[in-house]
Structure 1
Amino acid sequence: MLSFKQAIIPVITMVFLILLSVLFWEAPIQIALFFEIMIIISLALIWGYKWQEIEEMLFSSFRNIGNVILILFLLGMMIGLWIAVGTVPTVIFYGLQTISPQYFFILSFISTSLVSMAVGTAVGTASTIGLALISIAQTMGLSLPLAAGAIISGSYVGDRMSPVSSIAIITAHSSEANLMDMIYHMFKTAIIPYLLTALGFLFLGLSNFSSTTNIGDLELLSQMLNEHFQISFWLLLPPILIIVLAVLKVPTIINIALNILFSLLIGIYFTERGWSELLNIMFRGFSNRTGIDFIDNILARGGLTSMLELISLIIFAVLLGGLLEKMGVLNSLLKPFLHLIKKKMHLISVTIISGILAAGLGCNQFLGVFLPAKMLGKNYDQMNIERKVMARALGDSGLIFSPLIPWNVNALMMTAVLGVSTIEYFTFAFFPLLMPLSNLLTSYFEERK
């Protein structure tokens, strides 16, 4: 066990390098993590560790992420197919048909939450239907920060608890919890915040109603989608299928693999694309040019290769987490506070605070989940608390709070896609803001039973 003074050094250097990378170098966070790993290895050698021990620590957590990487590759292939065959354009098309200015914000929240549950990615939801919605809000003359808050609130519903969400899968594996048990447990803390968020956006929509809406713009966008993509209710079957199979507790890998095969068959039947083109889209993503920049920007995504950047981040984070865990860095930092944990509520509170801090220090969701899980897992076992409780606390803190931290990668991506700064949309992202409080209150009443 390292001393507190020793343990604080890697934390300070990590914060320094990540801030340099994000704010000044304009380099991917992977580079900062690489240099941080080099620094910790150097410190370990100075502190007396042998290289064989360091190598074992580096790769100690790799056995737990093989299936996660496979799922991420499958998700990339599936999303590319969904765009190519017309599933995502169909979702956007039908969404446009139901939009009315006074109900725009609540419909944006509900529609993005449904899409995010189907596709399992906040960034994917925001960059497809979210981008369309923010553009529509602009043409309607509605508040863009409020629209961004609604879109982000809905997008992170699925990011947190969709059966096909990569970060939800990572949360379950990091916490050593069953994925479906974790998702069911997460619903308990999500119901009230979801309803309060919906009511909040309904009230704000009615009170901010504007009659300056240009219906023609909505009709033009719908017409462009209809001209360049096959639009059909049948194309909604892939996301419906993946939700049904998830409810039936079909293993996630089998679920997504079956959906890929089903989407391929739909692509052959509903589109003029051949097997070769669809298979290449599975690998490289959808990048066909319609000649309309707006539509091209919305739908150019997916493919196996689109997951490589995320997987590289996961690999570096796992290497870093293995070092921090096995060297006792994180335990040394928490040790002065662990003696204060006497009850279940104390441990859950520490988990939530640690998750948010880790998401802020690590600048991404993965470290916000992975590091606290490795730090506190043994405490849950010692107090005979199920790991799904820890997974839920992490989902309601580091995972869901990431888009509200201005220097976090998730917040930067949301700003890049929606064109609204974190500071502007922060107060309107009701769902992420309510989740930590909901978890604490729910856990309190569960403990009192």
Structure 2
Amino acid sequence: MTSKKFTVNSNLVLLVSIISVIGCMFMNIPLYAGFFAGIVLTALSMYTAGFKIKQIFNTMVSSIVEIKGLILIILLIGATTTVWISSGVIPTIMYYGFNYMNGVNFLLATFLIMTVVSIFMGTAVGTISTVGIALMGIGFGLGIPPEMLIGVLVSGAFVADKISPLSGLLNLTMSTVKRNYLQIIKSFSITLIPLIIITAIIYCIMGSQYAVNNYSSLEVYKEAIINDINISPFLLLMPILMVILSLVGLKSTITIGIGVVCGGIFSVAMQDMFILETIKSIMFGYSAKTASAELNSILVSGGVVSMIDVILIVVGSVVLVGLFEKSNVLEPIINKLISKVNSKFQLILKTGILSSLMTIITCDQTVGIILPGKTLQDKYEEFNIDSVVLARTISDTGTIIAPLMVWNVNSFIINSVTGISALGYAPYAVLCYLCPAITIIISWLTYRRKQKELS
């Protein structure tokens, strides 16, 4: 089937679609309405340009089919958060965590814990919806502002998408540039090591004012947990199991699915819930019933049903992007960016800009990885730059900035799980800002050094 060129103003279609989404945010209308408005406009424009209705429809269907795995993961995340609370796993982590908070810089500890766990689990949103929720509960008990705490969780969790060998996005990046993990890890470390160190220092400074020197503020939470929820070290096997399953190479859907089943079993066995009650909570949500109203507001989840809005947004954004690609709406942007590249540094800089723009426009990292990864390989060969640098630049820019945008798929999921929108946590997601800056600075310094050597 031959592809047709768009004969209408592609910039106009893109602009109106973006305005529709942003307008929904400001008018407090569900975001999927903005995406669907963009879909209607783009589809009508394609039809007037000569595309057949069947072509347009098939593009929409194929776009949805491609994300069936993501849809399943989103539903499982809604279920996972629920069973980790109802089974007592998160309350147990909170209870024991409160016992070891004396003098600890919690923001720094949270960042480091999330970084390590996310690398092992290979999924940013999966780490946030499990271990992140437990750390969030502890942080709230310490009086840390929710927006700040979620920003720290996001910073640590999204290291997974940058460096974890289990990350689907990193594997997509490697396959796009035709490199394996051993080939890219050295290049990635050039930016990763200073990134982790600088971010840790910033969170150490930010967290110094929240170090706990007395337990008076925590005793109410501890008493409510121990009195109304069955706490056991045995429940800590759940997060350990999740990490082990990730390490042995199971798919995220299988790992998270097993976690949901185990969580349901623990809810019945450890918390004396009925089977039907457990199933109902998985579907429609769960709220703890302790003597502390503040604790109850933390130990709450909307279940699978709460993720329906997220799925509608994801479907809307993916279908819209599919139509953009089919009709070449994005082509003028790409051509303008990659033209007139005169140096290695310019190429790396424009790679970062292109990857970031695609992530911003398409609401997902996939296009921000595949499009620059495929279209710029010849340019990198022309300038004699190894494709591992292309992979690193994409990972450090378009991949890592995703949770900062309110309309991004990742921020939708984070908002559903934590109740905090990107507008709230983005200012504190330090790593997501530092990463693009560090990769550009290091590339510029490398370019300058080589220029001096040549001269």
TM-score band, normalised by shorter chain: 0.7 to 0.9
Contact 1:134–1:148 (CA under 8 A) maintained in structure 2: no
- State the match for 2:372 in structure 1: 376
Matches within 5 A, 1:141-152: 149-152=151-154
- State the match for 1:93 in structure 2: 95
Per the alignment, do residues 324 and 342 of structure 1 end up closer, same or farther by CA in structure 2, a change over 3 Å counting? farther
- State the match for 1:269 in structure 2: 269
Per the alignment, do residues 151 and 322 of structure 1 end up closer, same or farther by CA in structure 2, a change over 3 Å counting? closer
- State the match for 2:15 in structure 1: 12
Residue 74 of structure 1: how far off its partner (Å) = 2.8
Quote the Cα distance in structure 1 between the aligned partners of 2:142 and 2:315. 38
- State the match for 1:69 in structure 2: 71
Residue 114 of structure 1: how far off its partner (Å) = 5.6
Quote the Cα distance in structure 2 between the aligned partners of 1:443 and 1:346. 10
Quote the Cα distance in structure 2 between the aligned partners of 1:80 and 1:144. 20
- State the match for 1:59 in structure 2: 61
- State the match for 1:33 in structure 2: 35
Residue 51 of structure 1: how far off its partner (Å) = 1.8
Matches within 5 A, 1:20-419: 20-23=23-26, 25-100=27-102, 103-113=105-115, 120-121=124-125, 124=129, 129-130=135-136, 132-134=138-140, 136-137=142-143, 149-157=151-159, 169=168, 188=189, 189-206=191-208, 208=209, 215-290=215-290, 292-301=292-301, 303-340=303-340, 349-361=349-361, 367-373=363-369, 375-379=371-375, 382=378, 393-405=393-405
Quote the Cα distance in structure 1 between the aligned partners of 2:250 and 2:411. 33
Question: 2:135 is matched by which residue type in structure 1?
Answer: I
Contact 2:102–2:211 (CA under 8 A) maintained in structure 1: no
Residue 38 of structure 1: how far off its partner (Å) = 1.0
- State the match for 1:437 in structure 2: 437
Q: TM-score, normalised by structure 2?
A: 0.77
Per the alignment, do residues 287 and 11 of structure 1 end up closer, same or farther by CA in structure 2, a change over 3 Å counting? same
Per the alignment, do residues 113 and 337 of structure 1 end up closer, same or farther by CA in structure 2, a change over 3 Å counting? closer
1:51-71 alpha-carbon deviations (Å, 9 max, x no partner) = 222223323433322222223
1:160-217 alpha-carbon deviations (Å, 9 max, x no partner) = 66789xxx64675698669xx77996874544322332233334545x5789x65211
Contact 1:7–1:329 (CA under 8 A) maintained in structure 2: yes
RMSD: 4.3
Question: 1:266 is matched by which residue type in structure 2?
Answer: F
Question: 2:53 is matched by which residue type in structure 1?
Answer: W
Question: 1:55 is matched by which residue type in structure 2?
Answer: F
Per the alignment, do residues 253 and 198 of structure 1 end up closer, same or farther by CA in structure 2, a change over 3 Å counting? same
1:295-330 alpha-carbon deviations (Å, 9 max, x no partner) = 222121153323322221121111101110011111
Three-state SS of the structure 1 residue aligned to 2:230 is: coil
Quote the Cα distance in structure 1 between the aligned partners of 2:269 and 2:388. 42
Q: Which runs of 5+ in 2 are unaligned?
A: 451-455
Per the alignment, do residues 268 and 205 of structure 1 end up closer, same or farther by CA in structure 2, a change over 3 Å counting? closer
Q: Which runs of 5+ in 1 are unaligned?
A: none
Residue 335 of structure 1: how far off its partner (Å) = 1.1
Per the alignment, do residues 387 and 278 of structure 1 end up closer, same or farther by CA in structure 2, a change over 3 Å counting? farther
Q: What is the number of residues matched between the two proteins?
A: 432
